[in-house]
Amino acid sequence: MPRITPFLWFDNQAEEAARFYVSVFKNSRIVTMTHYGEAGPGPKGTVMTVVFQLEGQDFIALNGGPHFTFTEAISFSVSCTTQEEVDEYWDKLSRGGEEGPCGWLKDRYGLSWQITPTILNEMLNDPDPQKSKRVMEAMLQMGKIDIERLKQAYENS
């Protein structure tokens, strides 16, 4: 079966970013690196691509120059089962970046992430429209998602 691999375009921080992401996620590693040769377009000997894995998912990072930058139109969602996981990933990925609303953040490289507790989707999909409405309203007031506040909104009748 074909594999779909996210391909991330960096100016010149592909190796730095890959090493950072590998440090954030436990079951992760750098797989390979390629370097620019005589033909360029990058300086000979500098890193061209880094293949790395995060929790078993392959990624490719390219040092492609300043021509393109990341936008929120593409983000990576991290499913968390506990508040401790939410806090850990939020703190690590947002450091040097930018915190956003509703569990979204940009890391120091401008890549967008959604740090989402799995219970959020369960509550939003509740057959009781009032419960899901209260949860949505609570989430819209948050930056980093607070599971306890979601539960309070969900259970408040």
CB 79 within 8 A of CB 116: yes
Describe the crossing of helices 129-139 and 147-155 by its angle, rounded to 10 degrees: 150
Q: List, for residues 40-64, the tens digit of each pLDDT value.
A: 899 999 999 999 999 999 999 999 9
What is the pLDDT of the chain when averaged over all its residues? 96
pTM across the whole model: 0.93
The string of pLDDT tens digits covering residues 141-156 is 999 999 999 999 999 8
pLDDT at 140 over 70: yes
Question: SS3 of 10, please?
Answer: strand
**Secondary structure letter of residue 52 according to DSSP:** E
Mean pLDDT of 95-122: 98
Pair 150, 135: CB distance under 8 Å? yes
Q: What is the tally of helices (H) and strands (E) in the chain?
A: 5, 8
- Contacts of 44 by beta carbon, 8 Å cutoff, 6+ apart: 35, 36, 37, 38
> Which pLDDT score is estimated for 40?
85
The mean-pLDDT minimum among 28-32, 37-41, 77-81, 123-127 falls in 37-41
Quick one: three-class SS letters along 98-153? Answer: EECCCCEEECCCCCEEEEEEHHHHHHHCCCCHHHHHHHHHHHCCCCCCCHHHHHHH
Placement of tokens 């991290």 in the chain = 78
Query: 């100016």: which residue's tokens?
Result: 11
User: What confidence category does residue 157 fall into, taking pLDDT thresholds of 50, 70 and 90?
Assistant: low
Q: 47, exposed or middle or buried, with CB in 10 Å at 0-12, 13-18, 19+?
A: buried
pLDDT digits (tens, 9 = 90+) for 112-134: 999 999 999 999 999 999 999 99
